[in-house]
Amino acid sequence: MKRKLFGTDGVRGKANSHPMTAELALRLGAAAGRYFRRDGSRAHRVVIGKDTRLSGYMFENALTAGFTSTGMNVFLLGPVPTPAVGLLTPSMRADVGVMISASHNPAEDNGIKFFGPDGFKLSDEAEVEIERLLTEGVELAQSHNIGRAKRIDDGRFRYNERVKGAFPRGLSLQGLKVVIDCANGAAYRTAPEVLWELGAEVIEIGTSPNGLNINEKCGSTHVDTAASAVVAHGADVGICLDGDADRVMILDETGAVADGDQLMGLMAKSWADQGKLTGGALVATVMSNLGLERFLDDQGLRLERTSVGDRYVVERMRAGGYNLGGEQSGHIVMTDFATTGDGLLAGLQFLAAMVETGKKASELTRVFEPFPQLLKNVRYSDGQSPLEDGNVARAIADAEAKLNGNGRLLIRKSGTEPLIRVMAESVDEAVLNATVDSVVDAVQAATL
């Protein structure tokens, strides 16, 4: 059985439209509750966090109803970063954790992600089983066994202390001026608090959520506002988080952006030099730049590639015993400290490197020369399968021949939106543009 409801990062869509309706969230909560209460022999717990979207109230209540209907006791964390849910699920001895968020998507979207009792995201097999239970229906708890729900007021403070504990002892951010852009999202209180408590002079952006402005012209996918603030305030560095704070982009003192690949390259070399990088490898997805792979080769390190999605990165890390991985988009996973991508934690690692080396951000954000890379998206309608079209297949084959081993071509469906993503890399930018455009034209023709 294949997953139909779950994508690469939980269930996601436009709020109040299928599949992101209150009715489905209630049923999904009941199905997940039954899955994690299979023995039925004791009280079970679930922790639920959310970002700052208006629809979060609706889904929080619907999921609570579903979980309590199967006898699960619910602990509501309120707005916290996604990695806080991964941390607090095992810390509070919960059987399952839930984050209500659509990450970097606009405010009208929302999503539901699940974490197992170990704080890691669920496997494909577990999601398939939850979908089966949702389809077939679940046995509800007897009336005297219905679960209870309560608010947990100190969830973010527990997370703050864990994040600060990962910052090297003896170091301080005293003297550093840091712009922090929280995308009007889940870290709007957490990130400024942590940076200030570690000694930084903090300039806040995106810390006034109103339910509708999450990721709006701010955050890791819209860095221009933060870049302007870095220059205007003469800041040493900028840290841009996304709506649920599991990804990060770093800005140097000129406002120039460094993506996840550059940050992972810096950390991999630094950790390897300190003897802290396990397995001699960095785990990243097929989207990471070929320049990163060549850089690691020069350092005597390996790049282990996975499918797109930080959960697949984590699965490979756990299977191979690696402790550093992530995505070009800014998910940085450090399993010595966290169970999932953590933008604030990764940002602090970069700040620690600045303090330890005494170097400017611009000296640390260009550890390798990236291959020219181009990504274009083609939207398609429900029921369409453009990648199965014969003309598309021929266009892809022709494009691969043009690259002739001097680049890469990657065609994939988005796991969160109805998009075909066409990405290529090449040392020759003319070939790069022609390659991507030929495939995009074929895919667009197949959607007409």
* Active centre residues (catalytic): 103
Residue 309 gets the label, from left (phi > 0), alpha (psi -120 to 50) or beta, of left
11-14, strands of its sheet edge to edge: 11-14, 109-115, 96-100, 44-50, 72-79, 149-151
| CB-side neighbour CA atoms (13 Å) of 1 | 15
Asked if residues 190 and 165 have their Cβ atoms less than 8 Å apart, the reply is no
Cα(249)–Cα(328) distance, integer angstroms: 10
Q: How many CB atoms lie within 10 A of CB 125?
A: 10
Token pair of 405, please? 């081993």
Structural element, H or E, at residue 87: helix 82-91
Q: CB-based burial of residue 212 (10 Å sphere; 0-12 exposed, 13-18 middle, 19+ buried)? A: middle
| Distance, CA of 414 to CA of 357 (rounded, Å) | 39
| Cβ atoms 215, 192 nearer than 8 A | no
Strands 96-100 and 44-50: parallel
Kind and range of the H or E run holding 304: strand 302-306
